Each structure stands twice: as structure tokens, then as C-alpha cells.
Chain A
Amino acid sequence: MATKQNGKYTILICQGTGCVSSKSDRITQELENQIKQSGLSENVHVKLTGCHGFCQQGPIVIIEPEGVFYTQVTEEDVAEIIQSHIVDGKYLERLFYHNPVTSEAIPLYKDIPFYSRQHRLILRNCGHINPERIEDYLATDGYAALKRAIFEMEPTQIIEEINRSGLRGRGGAGFPTGKKWEEAHKAKEQPKYVVCNADEGDPGAFMDRSVLEADPHSVLEGMAIAGYAVGTPEGYIYVRAEYPLAVKRLRIAIAQAKEHKLLGSNIMGSGFNFDIEIMQGAGAFVCGEGSALMYSIEGKRGMPRVRPPRSVASGLWGKPTSLNNVKTYASVPLIINRGADWYTSIGTEGSKGTAVFALTGKIANSGLIEVPMGATLREVVFDIGGGVQEGKRFKAVQTGGPSGGCLPESALDLPIDFESLTKAGSMMGSGGMVVMDTDTCMVDLAHFFLKFCCNESCGKCVPCREGLPLMSKVLERITQGEGNAEDIEQLMDMGNTIIKGALCGLGTTAPNPVMSSIRYFRGEWEAHVIDKKCPALVCKALINFYILPDKCAGCGICLRACPVEAISGGKRMVHVIDQDKCIKCGTCLEKCPERFSAVVKVTGEQIAVPKEPVPIGADK
């Protein structure tokens, strides 16, 4: 990190996808212009970085050496930042981060609980280095592990070190990485391949994307070490085409590493060759599954096959292939540099190291976080995430995406590790963590995940292709208010059948969101099927909007906003919603001025209101 030298400043500006969406590129431009105009170019340096992880507060600007953290910066703020912070030496308080719970202003990066409670290993460089400059990575000991691996270690020693470290695959399944490398290393057949799985398809997750965008060299270095250990000169990165910025940064990184003789032929003069090719996925969730991913690289439909053989024996083009996740590779250089003993000191008995999560949903602090394995869900959701948004209550946390499950408040003290989460009915997953408050309907959410898996089923095996749509039909019925008491058991039954019968990981885990939801939130399911109520007021068929006659001021705002002209009324007349026409879009509730708050949303009850508009006060 930069230090203050004779009044010199470094302004770090985030160029991750989140902040770029919030126009951080324009801020960069403006910063550079203003610095030039003010004649400060000598002393003030603008540095682009990857994702800081706190995307919700973006665009984020950090000014070193002090480490002052400015949030939600706009183009218009730039002049004031330069004048106040740089010229006058006065921090700009209005752009500080404010603790959402206490409203306390926190000026320094290191003091913000979102960061201070984390343990950043995989994300070590994210937000601190310019991902488009290899010099930045080299300055953080980058490629030292590769050098060490090639010149001081035998492939078997590397594998031994990774085995001893207890590193497990960060893609979700948690297979021991060293064991995978060992099998690939021992495989006789040539050629072999190492492949990086960057097909982050879990909706609600962006960990891999952020690592690739913010610190691509850490992944390349890990892959090169794997290539050396496994004994192959060929690597592939399979990355989603939906991640154009990650692809761009990877391309730049590969080119720079080749220029520096850290990739390509004869790496650092050692005689070891290793090249990496980028393959862009084409939008199929199932391609996150190993065998499907490899078929996709080959240019085929990404349909999983029966295993065994496992891909370490017969993978890409039928050759031995070691497939690991982005975060697994990013962990490797650290283990080689600092040793397996150090790595095993972090985490739990069965799960070593750290876990990265994309913390999203109804949470105060959304963003990318990293904690040691064994930290509890409560620490992540409340200490780092700041809990749910103001005025709401925590309801559930979902991990593992469409393969995982929803855990209730009673599970919050579970340690985060591969075994505990699976035992509780969810799973580690690749790192999506979505928080729900009481406004989220668990039935609707389960339906959401199931529909997702229906759409993404490749169609090869019957349990998944036919079973998931059947489950979806039952769920559709339940959310329509046409469910019956037997539906719940039937869903569990169908889920168990699919789990037993489906071919690949997509199918065998797809019923999890439904089954874990029934396990922990049965009451809410019963409310839907028996009482025909949606307690979270989400399922449209089970809710109604009413305008309360004693509160309506007859202002006409809702009437004009209603997209289907379901509201009738007039000046100084109590407005009335035609329940037959209403599409339950909620626009009236949103638009009704707070001082009136005349629109209500209810489930399972009828509110007595006039049938036709009546003059205000007529009922009094």
C-alpha cells in the first residue's frame, strides 16, 4: 500500500463491474482532468483497481496514504474531493461511509466493520492493485510461488504440500485439490490438461468474476503451478461470456505474463512451458458441471455424462484433466509461498482456509466478503453484513444457489464449513449468500430456484427433465392458492426421487431449495396450502390491495399511476380499486404519499370498502 511521501497522494478508484455500472469510469476521467487542471499531477496519482467488494456503496474512491474511504462518489463530487481533501487537507465528511445501523460516520477503510471483520486471502489483492498492470501483482510477491515451485520443488512435492494444506475445491463440492492433482499427475495418458472453471452460473453470485476482474494473475499463477504439478503445458479457462470485463482483464494478464516470461514457452528459462487459452461459455448453467464444461470447450452441447470415469482419468477430449475453480487456483500461490502449515492454521478441522461469499439480498451491507472457515453465519450476516435493512426482520439465509438451501434464524450459529452446511440441508456452494427478510416468501423463492433449474436442465436424464417441471407445477398451484395439504408431502417425495435418480449435480441438488424450505418453514407452506395465505404478502393470487376510505385524500396519484386503470375516483372522492381488474403490481401502494398511507396490502382477508367512489368523510 502506498505511503505518504512529501504530500503525495494515491487515489484508488474501483473499476469492478459494480462500480463501473455506477459510472466509475466517468469519475476516473473527471479525476484525471481535475488533477491536471489543478496542476497536481506531480503529487497525485490515480490508480485503477478491481473490486473492493463493497459494491453497494460504489463507486468507491480510497485516498492513500490515509486510507480514507469515500462512498457513492459521483462525477460532481470530484472537484470537492480534490479541493477539500488534497488541497485543503480536510476530509470530506459527507462522502464517508455511514454505519447503516448506528448512522456513525467512519472515515477510514480499515475501521469499517464490513472490512475489519474479514480475513482476506483469496481477495488479498482485490481493490489494492491495478489488475491491468502485472507490475502491481509482481510487487505483492506475485509469481514468486511459481518460481519457487518450478525451481525448488518437484511436482510431487507441490502435490504433497497442497495435500497437507487440506485445500478443498472452492467451486462448491469441496473435493480435495491435492488429491485431484495427484491423480492427474499419475495418469499415464498424454496430453493432459488443467482447466479453470470460471462458469459462475449461480444466480446471485459474483465471487469468481470479482477475482478475475481484480486479480487475474493470482489465478494464472495458480494454474501454472497446477500445470507444472500435473505435468502439462496446456491450460484452459472457461469463463462466462456474460463477464466481458473479466475476459478482457484475463486477456491483458495473459499477454503481460507472456511478455515477462511467466507464461508461454520456457518459463523463466526453466524449460517448463505452459500456455492458457480462454474459452467463453455461452450461457448454460449446467456447464458449471465438470463433464458438461469439458464438452462445451470441445464445442459440443454441454450435457453431463455418467461418471466414472472421472475427468482426472478421462476429461477434455478424453484425456486426463484437472478441473478447479477460480478461487481454488487463487489460493494456490499463497500455500506455496507461505506453506501448508500456515494454511492449516486457518479454518476448521475438515475445512481449511477461507471462504468467499457474495453477500446479497435484503442485507444492509451488500458485497463480496471473505472469512475463515468456521466463522458463523451470524458473524457474516450481522457483523459484516450489518443485518437486514432497517425496520425489517431477518428470516433466512440462502447458500449454494439453486443447489443449496435456505437456513432459518436457528441455524445462524452454525459454523461455515463444507460439512456443517450440508448437514443443515444447504451447502457451501461456490459462494452465493442471499439474505431474506420477512418480506420474502419462502414458497415463492423455492419456486424461483426450481424454475431456474427447470430452464437450465440439459434434458438428458428423465428425473431432472421431467421431474423438476412436475415439482414446478405443484409449486405453481400452491402460489396460485390452489394447493392442498397433500402437496407438501408430494413435493418431498418427488424431491427424494429426483435426488436418487438424476444424473449430474444439477439434478441431484435441484430439489434442495424446496426441501430445505419445507423443512425449516413448514408453517409458511401450510399457510399457503391450507389457509390460502401468503404471510410475506408476495404471491399475487393470495394478496389484495385496498384503499382505506378513512385515509384516502382523493388526490388521484394512485389513479393516474395504475397501469391497468383499475382505480376509480375523483377529486375529494375516496378512490376504489376494482379487484377484478387489479393485477397486484403494487404501484398504488408505492405511489400513495406517505402522509396518507391509504393503500394497504393484505392476505386472506377482505377489507370493507365502498364499492364505488364516495365523497371523502361520507362514512364519518
Chain B
Amino acid sequence: MIGTTDLVRQIREILTPLQDRHVVLIPALQAVQEKFGYLPEVAMEEIGRVAGVSPNVVYGVASFYAQFRTTPVGKKHVAVCQGTACHVRGAARILEAIERALDIKAGETTPELGYSLETVACIGACALAPTLRINEETHGKLTTNDIEKLFPKTSKPEETPNS
């Protein structure tokens, strides 16, 4: 865990280059989330200061957009595409298989932040449907067999192959 003062210092460092920009708020939220994987509460205040709005407004914007999270993500962040092409090619079954393998539901995180699981509307790799992304890596043309390989039973993130 990083202490709050350290956290504030780090956030301020991220925000400094954004201060003079024409548009600040959303790029600032994106920059902070890129660094920490989520938006720590104290970030709302810091970003508000830079953007010249109240922390409430910052939170209002952050909660509007699907990209922003206010809870930490796992070491392996799994985003399962639920776009149309993936849907008609069985994305629901892929998601269920992952939920069973990791024993969490979409939107949840495994204990000790090993994995976090979320659904996304479309990652734009529709020709490879059904698809998912683990951190930066996209996997396509998935079958439930692939899911067993990607997420072996009782797997720890360190042991996941191919990622």
C-alpha cells in the first residue's frame, strides 16, 4: 500500500503536464487510471483542483463513463467482449466458462487481486469473435476449451499460460 501523501504526490506529478491544456478533466482521469489501474478517491479532489471544478463534478463525470473504475483491478484484468459478433458466436458461454473457472462474476475481482473480470461492449476484433482481452493481449476465436487452457482450475495469475 502506498501512503496517502505519497499517492497525492504521485497524482500531482501525473497532472502537472495537463494543467495548461484546453481540456483537462477526462484526459486527467485517464492519465490517473492508466497509472493506478483505477481512480483512488483522493484523485477526485486533485483532478478537481487542476480542472477548476468540485470533486463532485469530477466524480459525476467519472461515474458516467464505462472506462473509469473506482476499485482496483487484478494483476490480470480480463475483459470479455460482448459485442454483437461475439454474442452471436457464443460470447455468453465464454463468459460463463470464465466465471466458473475463476469463481467470480463479471465486475468482480478474485481475492488478493489476482484476476478481475469485466464485460466490454466491443473491442473491435469482430472478425475473430468471440474474443477477450487479458491486460493488453487479445485472444480470438475462443472455444470453451481455450478457456480451460487460459484459466486452468485454481490457477494463480502467475501460472496462466500465454499472457
Interface of A with B (CB < 8 Å)? 17-18, 20-22, 54-56, 58, 200-206, 209, 241-243, 277, 279-285, 296-303, 358, 360-362, 366-368, 398, 401, 432, 434, 436, 440, 445, 448-449, 452, 456, 458, 563, 583, 585-587, 590
Contact = CB atoms under 8 A, between A and B. Distances in A.
B122 interface: yes
A93 B51 CA distance: 60
Interface in B34-82: 51, 60-61, 64-68, 82
Contacts of A280: 26-27, 30
Q: Which of B29, B61, B85, B86 has the most CB of A within 10 A?
A: B85
29 contacts: A21-B131, A21-B140, A55-B127, A55-B128, A201-B121, A203-B82, A203-B83, A203-B85, A203-B87, A204-B85, A204-B86, A204-B122, A206-B125, A209-B124, A242-B123, A277-B22, A280-B26, A282-B66, A283-B66, A284-B65, A299-B25, A299-B51, A300-B25, A302-B65, A360-B127, A361-B84, A361-B89, A585-B96, A585-B97
Interface of B: 22-27, 29-30, 51, 60-61, 64-68, 82-89, 93, 96-97, 100, 120-129, 131, 138-140, 143-144
A448 B84 contact: yes
Closest CB pairs A-B (n = 10):
A204-B84, A299-B25, A203-B83, A55-B127, A283-B66, A282-B65, A360-B85, A21-B138, A366-B127, A203-B122
A326 B96 CA distance: 36
A362 B89 contact: yes
A591 to B, nearest CB: 9
A2 to B, nearest CB: 26
Contact of A21 (B30, B51, B128, B144): B128
A367 B120 CA distance: 21
B61 A204 contact: no
A431 to B, nearest CB: 11
Nearest to A204: B84
Nearest to B143: A590
Nearest to B64: A301
A284 B64 contact: yes
B89 A299 contact: no
B55 to A, nearest CB: 14
B83 A204 contact: yes
B60 A301 contact: yes
A305 B77 CA distance: 35
Given A204-B122, A205-B124, 7 more contacts: A18-B127, A58-B128, A205-B122, A243-B124, A282-B67, A456-B121, A563-B97
Contact of A283 (B60, B67, B87): B67
Contacts of B129: 360-361, 366
Contacts of A283: 65-67, 121
Nearest to B96: A585
A361 B85 contact: yes
B61 A17 contact: no
B84 A432 contact: yes
A436 B87 CA distance: 11
A300 B22 CA distance: 13
Contacts of B24: 299
B66 A284 contact: yes
A586 B87 CA distance: 16
A434 B138 contact: no
A260 B163 CA distance: 39
A200 B125 CA distance: 13
Nearest to B99: A563
A436 B88 contact: yes
Contact of B64 (A20, A203, A277, A302): A302
A434 B86 CA distance: 10
B125 A434 contact: no
Contact of A361 (B22, B26, B88, B123): B88
Contacts of A21: 125, 128, 131, 138-140
A582 to B, nearest CB: 13
Contacts of A277: 22
Contact of B88 (A55, A303, A368, A434): A434
Contact of A445 (B87, B131, B144): B87
A367 B127 contact: yes
Contact of B26 (A205, A209, A299, A436): A299
B54 to A, nearest CB: 13
A398 B84 contact: yes
Contacts of A563: 97, 100
Q: Which of B29, B124, B138 has the most CB of A within 10 A?
A: B124
A200 B51 CA distance: 27
Contacts of A301: 60-61, 64
A461 to B, nearest CB: 15
Contact of B67 (A241, A456, A590): A241
Contact of B30 (A17, A282, A434): A282
Contacts of A55: 125-128
